[in-house]
Amino acid sequence: MDGTVLPSLSELWLHTQRDTIDAETIVVKWLSQLQKCFEERLAWDFATKQGKDMIGGYLRSSQVSLENLEPCTGDLKPAVVEWEEMAFVQSGFVFGTQHGPGRGLVRLANDADNHWKAWIVFEQLEGLKQRDLKAHGTQPTTVNGPNSTAAEDAPVLIVSAGQAGVILGTRLRQMRIPCLVVERHRPVGDAWRARYDSLMGLNILLNTNVTSIKRDGSKYSVELDGPPGRRTISSKHVVLATSVISDKPNTPRFTGQDTFKGVVSHSSQRKSGKLVPDIAAKDCRHFRVQHQRPRRRAGFRQLRCKAGFHGPAAPIFSVSSHSWKTIQLGCWNMDGLTMDEAGVLGNSFPTAMIRTMSIGSTAAMAKADKDMLDGLRKAGLALRTGQDGHGLADHQLIKGGRFYIDQGASRMIIDGRIKVHHCEGGVREFGETSVTLADGTNIETGVVVLSTGYGKNLDHVRKLMGDEVANKLEGLGDLEILSNVGVADCRRSKTSRV
């Protein structure tokens, strides 16, 4: 799909009787050997290494020692896990380093000689031995409202007060590094942002757009456009906390569109129901059509088209909510699993391994959902089921769309309440009151919705910083070939994957 060579799965089955396996004893012994054999494990990056040579070289290059390794209690305690057709011993563990405490997870495979060997070892640093961090709420908040102060130069400027921007701003503030967070939206309705604003004491400049970022000697010159008007401030560091996906909709133009007397809008603009041909490329069309249709008894048609702007009309994944929860999310199905424990479980799977495992789990979900998928195909929907070597995770992690976890729209398609027209040739042209597909199908309508998704954030970088900077960032948000980690993914802790 993206050129990544995915790893093969190890032979993960038991060579001994399950009832004779003492998971805790196995894990304790393995952890003691780990502490004796390796003097170092962690580094200040987030990496995935595979194979003895690559893992060995990575460990030898580090200067961090492990100590006090112990198995976890709770839902990550040592246990034999059977998931799909695989079986292995799994356990969380805690450890210490000179920099702070950490937590990890190990999965041990049972080989033909009945030895337990590491399949996946994951470790993350969860705290730092650092003193005198600032408490929340001790610094006045700078907001361009009734009590605002003018924006001043800041050592660090963060674009966007979303989750990543607020987290980074809070951390910098704790480290006594002044920063200014610039957010283009108004605070009205943004209750969560108001919460962060009041509790974290951040300098947030609301309702302000960053229009240009240019290098000026040792600093950046940043142009702002807000209620006081246009102004320029300087900052030594600039952080774009604006996500991997752009918020600019893909809005293609079609032959004859200028003659169309109706309304053509992107799915992000639709709030009411009418008879709507929906030119679809992403998963959002199901959700939107499902939730708009009952409001005004509107009729809906989805046009699964191969349009020139988007390339081949690739089939989509459609999965029932039950299969998704029990099969793809099966390893999280534990009563009492905490959010922290769930995070360790999720982070412990290297991305490439998730994609490999997803091929089999996708086929298993398709088997479980056979009746639903047969009905969708009969209704005209083109589907993908993992048989071509691509799994659901490829679209969740790489494509960012073209899948649907059923919330009710599948039944509406099967029943004919939502009609689907699949046309490999795409949209031929627009008429005054209709859309004509390449196969000659003519659909009368007054409103057309484009469910064509959004571009990548590299377009946003190019707009703010120019072609020279953007051209150096080709692949922003894609997976690194070696680490299988999103280049722009800053959500996780500083972590080492082995």
- Specify the length of the chain in residues: 498
**CA distance linking residue 266 with residue 246, whole number of Å:** 14
CB burial class (10 A; 0-12, 13-18, 19+) of residue 418?
buried
Cα(365)–Cα(348) distance, integer angstroms: 23
Kindly report the CATH class assigned to 248-454: alpha beta
- Residue 15 is predicted with a pLDDT of 59
* pLDDT mean over 25-31: 81
Distances in Å between the alpha carbon of 225 and those of 205, 206, 208, 228, 392?
A: 11, 11, 6, 8, 41
Please, which pLDDT band fits residue 174 given cuts at 50, 70 and 90? confident
In whole angstroms, how far apart are CA 33 and each of 7, 26, 36, 37, 133?
26, 11, 5, 6, 36
Q: State the pLDDT confidence band at 135, using cuts at 50, 70 and 90.
A: low
Q: Do domains 18-125 and 248-454 have the same CATH topology?
A: no
Per-residue confidence (pLDDT) for residue 131, from 0 to 100: 58
List pLDDT tens digits, range 256-268.
999 999 999 998 8
Does the pLDDT of residue 175 top 70, yes or no?
Answer: yes
Please enumerate, as own/partner, the contacts of 108-113 that have beta carbons within 8 Å and a separation of 24 or more. 108/26, 108/27, 108/30, 109/10, 109/11, 109/12, 110/13, 110/14, 110/15, 110/16, 111/15, 112/15, 113/15
- pLDDT given at position 37: 43
| Helix axes 163-174 and 191-200, enclosed angle (nearest 10) | 0
Rounded distance, CA 384 to CA 402, Å? 10
The residue among 136 and 18 whose pLDDT is bigger is 18
**Section 438-448 average pLDDT:** 90
Assign a CATH topology to domain 150-242.
FAD/NAD(P)-binding domain (3.50.50)
Cα(406)–Cα(175) distance, rounded to whole angstroms? Answer: 45
- The confidence score (pLDDT) of residue 300 equals 52
DSSP state of 270: -
Query: What pLDDT score does 432 carry?
Result: 96
> Domain locations in the chain?
18-125, 150-242, 248-454
**Do the beta carbons of residue 116 and residue 24 sit within 8 Å?**
no
Q: Domain spanning 18-125 has what CATH number?
A: 3.10.450
pLDDT of residue 170: 87
- Which range, 48-52, 397-401, 408-412, is most confident? 408-412
Encode pLDDT of 345-396 as tens digits. 888 888 888 888 899 899 999 999 999 999 999 999 999 998 888 899 988 8
Distance CA 144, CA 431 (A): 48
pLDDT, position 294:
43
Which residue stretches of 250-295 are H helix? 284-292
Distance separating alpha carbons of residues 75 and 202, to the nearest angstrom = 36
Cα separation, 156 vs 314, in Å, equals 43
Residue with tokens 């571009």: 455
pTM over 0.75: no
